[in-house]
Amino acid sequence: MTLVVVGAAPPPGAWAIDYQTMGQALGYLGKDVAPGIIEHARQMGVNLPPQLDDPSAKLTPELIVEVIRDVAFHYFPRLAPGGAGGLNSANYGKAPSAG
């Protein structure tokens, strides 16, 4: 059997969230839970978007997703972009650095 490589695979495209669809997916439950997630994040000392300093700020799908990501990166710092010891091709398989 012979393997024939015709051409290089195209690079993957940038990943993006469709916030209109995300808003529909969040639904009422997600939007009702968001203030609790935000309060929990504040108690943990997570850096939140400055828009949330205003108590009357509208919780848009973009803002809710940003907060969820910030909380996730707090619990899983190695998944954060540029996180300490993040899993990327340069340090895959290496022990996390102390610090």
pLDDT score of 13 = 62
Whole-angstrom CA distances from 46 to 49, 52, 56 are: 10, 12, 20
Structure tokens, 60: 């848009």
pLDDT score of 43 = 93
pLDDT score of 61 = 84
pLDDT score of 7 = 66
Q: What is the mean pLDDT of each run of 10 residues along the chain (99 residues)?
A: 63 69 78 87 89 87 86 87 53 44
> Looking up tokens 């990501």, which residue turns up?
69
For the chain, the structural domain boundaries read 19-79
Predicted TM-score (pTM) of this structure: 0.58
pLDDT score of 62 = 85
